[in-house]
Amino acid sequence: MRRVGLALLVVLTLFGSGLAGTGPASAAEPQASLPQLEDEVMCPVCGTLLGLSHSPAAERQRVFIRKLIAEGKDDEEIKDALVAEYGGQVLALPENRGIDVWAYAVPVIGLVLGLIGVLAAIIVWRRRRPERGSEEPVAAPSAAEEDRLDKDMARFDL
Amino acid sequence: MNWRTSIVVVGVVALLGFLVWGLVKKGDSGLAVGEPVPVATLPTLPEGGEGSIEDYRGKWVLLNVWASWCEPCKAESPALDRFEEKNRDRISVVGLDTKDLSEDALAFLREFRIEYPQLRDASGDYTDGELKTTGVPESFLIDPEGNLVAHFPGPFKDEAAIEAFAAPALEAATGTGKEASS
C-alpha cells in the first residue's frame, strides 16, 4: 500500500510539473526570444513561417520583434502587437481563445466521438455473437438422406 | 461497360475536370478592364481615419499599391509625387500601403514627402483578395464610375511612364476643359 502511495505521489509530481511548464507566463519563465517567435508567427508577404523567410519584409518584422523584446515585452504582448500591425493571419497557430478554440477542440471532439463509435461497435458486435453452446441443435438426417449418403460414400470406396 | 468500369471512368473524368477548373481559375486571377474595382473601407495613414476609393467616385483615380520595404516602390515614389503635384486637378493619386509596419510606412511618407491620401491594408486581404495584386508596386487607373481602365504591375520607371499610364484620365480632363472653354 505504501509503495502504491509513493508511486502515485511520483506520478502526480511529474504530471504537475509538466502542467506548470505548459501554463501561462510564470515568474520563472524566460523573456521572449526571437528564434521561438520566428516559429510561431508568419511572414505576411511570403506566406511562410518568419523563421524560413529572409525577404525585406521579414527582416523589418524581425527588427520590430527585437525592439519589443528589448522593451521587455513577453511572447503574448509581442504577438498582440504583430496582430495589431498585420492582422490575425500573422499567427502561425490559431489563438486559444474565441472562435479559434475550435481549431483545437474539433480534433479532440472527433477523437472522443471516434472512440465512442468504436466502443459502441464492439458492444453491438459482442451482443450479436451467439454464445458458445447456444447454437440450435442440428437435426439428425432422415432415413432417405442416410441411405443416399451411404450410396455416395460407396461410390468413392476404392 | 460494367458498373465498376463506369465508376472508374466517372472518377477519372471528375479528377480531370477539377484540374482544368483549377488551371482556368488560376489563369483568370486578375481584375478585368472595364469591371468595377472592388471597394473596402480601410484605415488611413497617418492613422486615425477611414477611407475608401469609393470616396473618389466622380473623379479619376490612380491607385498605387506600395510598401516601405519594397525597393522599387522607393524608386518610383519621387516620380509619382511629381506627377501628383502636376496633375492633382485632373486625377486623384491615392496610395495603398500593404503588409507593412505602420511606423515604417509613416517614415516612408516622411522621407519622400508624400502628401497625397493614403490608405492602409495591413493584412493584405484587400490588395491580394480583392484587387488580386501579385506584388508591389502595382497601379490601377480607375474611371469616375469606379471601373478599371488600366492596370500596371511593377514600378513606373519615370514620370513619362506614369503620364502614359494615366493618359485616358489626362485626355478626358483636357477634353472636358476644351468643351467647357468652347
A38 is a domain residue: yes
Q: CA-CA distance, B77 to B113, in Å (whole number)? A: 10
What burial class does residue B92 get, using C-beta atoms within 10 Å of its C-beta: 0-12 exposed, 13-18 middle, 19+ buried?
buried
Task: For residue B46, give the DSSP letter.
Answer: S
Give the pLDDT score at B24. 64
Please check whether residues A77 and A48 belong to one and the same domain. yes
Q: How confident is the model at residue B18 (pLDDT cuts 50, 70, 90)?
A: confident
Task: For residue A99, give the DSSP letter.
Answer: G
Q: How would DSSP label each residue in B51-108? A: E-GGGGTTS-EEEEEE-TT-HHHHHHHHHHHHHHHHHTTT-EEEEEEES--HHHHHHH
Q: Provide the chain B residues 67-86 that lie in CB contact (below 8 A) with chain A.
A: 67-71
Query: What's the whole-number mean pLDDT along residues B14-26?
Result: 75
Please check whether residues A57 and A84 belong to one and the same domain. yes
More confident residue, A2 or B71: B71
Nearest to A47 by CA among B48, B148, B134: B134
Please check whether residues A67 and A106 belong to one and the same domain. no
SS3 A92: coil
A15 is a domain residue: no
Domain termination site, one of A48, A69, A93: A93
Give the pLDDT score at B42. 97
A78 is a domain residue: yes
More confident residue, B46 or B65: B65
Please check whether residues A37 and A79 belong to one and the same domain. yes
Please check whether residues A36 and A84 belong to one and the same domain. yes
Domain that holds residue A78: 30-93
Query: What's the whole-number mean pLDDT along residues A13-33?
Result: 53
- Give contacts of A88 with chain B, Cβ < 8 Å: 123
Give the pLDDT score at A95. 66
Distance from CA of A83 to the nearest CA of B (A): 9
Q: Which three cell numbers stand for residue B41?
A: 473601407
Q: CA-CA distance, B170 to A121, in Å (whole number)? A: 75
Q: How confident is the model at residue A137 (pLDDT cuts 50, 70, 90)?
A: confident
Give the pLDDT score at B118. 97
- Look at chain A and report how many structural domains it folds into: 2
Please check whether residues A48 and A103 belong to one and the same domain. no
pTM above 0.80, yes or no: no
Q: CA-CA distance, B116 to B114, in Å (whole number)? A: 6
Q: Taking the CA atoms of chain B, what radius of gyration do you get in angstroms?
A: 21
Please check whether residues A87 and A105 belong to one and the same domain. no
CB pair distance less than 8 Å for B123 and A86: yes
- Give contacts of B69 with chain A, Cβ < 8 Å: 45, 55-57, 59-60
Please check whether residues A54 and A107 belong to one and the same domain. no
SS3 B179: helix
- Give contacts of B102 with chain A, Cβ < 8 Å: 85
Nearest to B122 among A59, A60, A85 (CB): A85
Give the pLDDT score at B4. 72
Please check whether residues A105 and A83 belong to one and the same domain. no
Q: Which of B22-26, B94-98, B122-126 has the highest mean pLDDT?
A: B94-98
Please check whether residues A53 and A71 belong to one and the same domain. yes
A71 is a domain residue: yes
- Using the predicted structure, report yes or no on whether residue B179 has a pLDDT greater than 60: no
Give the pLDDT score at B28. 56
pLDDT in tens, A75-130: 999 999 999 999 988 999 876 667 777 877 888 999 999 999 999 999 999 888 76
A112 is a domain residue: yes
A105 is a domain residue: yes
More confident residue, B153 or A141: B153
A75-86 vs A56-70: helix crossing angle, rounded to 10: 140
A138 is a domain residue: no
A136 is a domain residue: no
Give the pLDDT score at A3. 54
- Using the predicted structure, report yes or no on whether residue B138 has a pLDDT greater than 60: yes
Domains of chain B: 34-181 (3.40.30.10)
CB pair distance less than 8 Å for A57 and B122: no
Nearest to B99 among A44, A59, A64 (CB): A44
pLDDT in tens, A35-83: 999 999 999 998 899 999 999 999 999 999 999 999 999 999 999 999 9
Please check whether residues A38 and A85 belong to one and the same domain. yes
Query: What's the whole-number mean pLDDT along residues B95-111?
Result: 96
Q: CA-CA distance, B123 to A19, in Å (whole number)? A: 35
